[in-house]
Amino acid sequence: MKECLFCNPLNFPEQKIVFENESCYFIQSPKAQDILEGAGLVIPKAHVETVFDLSEKEWMDTYELMQKAKKLLDETYGPDGYSTGWNVKPVGGQSIPHAHFHIIPRFADEPFAGKGIRAWIKSEANRRPSRKIEIEAEVK
Domain CATH for 43: 3.30.428.10
Number of domains making up the chain: 1
- Beta-carbon neighbour count of residue 51 at 10 Å? 18
Cα–Cα distances in Å, from 86 out to 49, 101, 104, 132? 11, 5, 12, 27
pLDDT in tens, the chain (140 residues): 567 888 887 777 788 899 999 999 999 988 877 888 999 999 999 999 999 999 999 999 999 999 999 999 999 999 999 999 999 999 999 999 999 999 999 999 998 888 887 776 667 777 777 765 655 666 65
Is 120 among the domain residues? no
Q: Which domain holds residue 32?
A: 9-115
Q: What's the CA gap between 120 and 110, in Å, rounded?
A: 17
Is 37 among the domain residues? yes
101, β-bridge pairs: 42, 86
Q: What's the CA gap between 89 and 110, in Å, rounded?
A: 28
Q: Model pTM?
A: 0.84
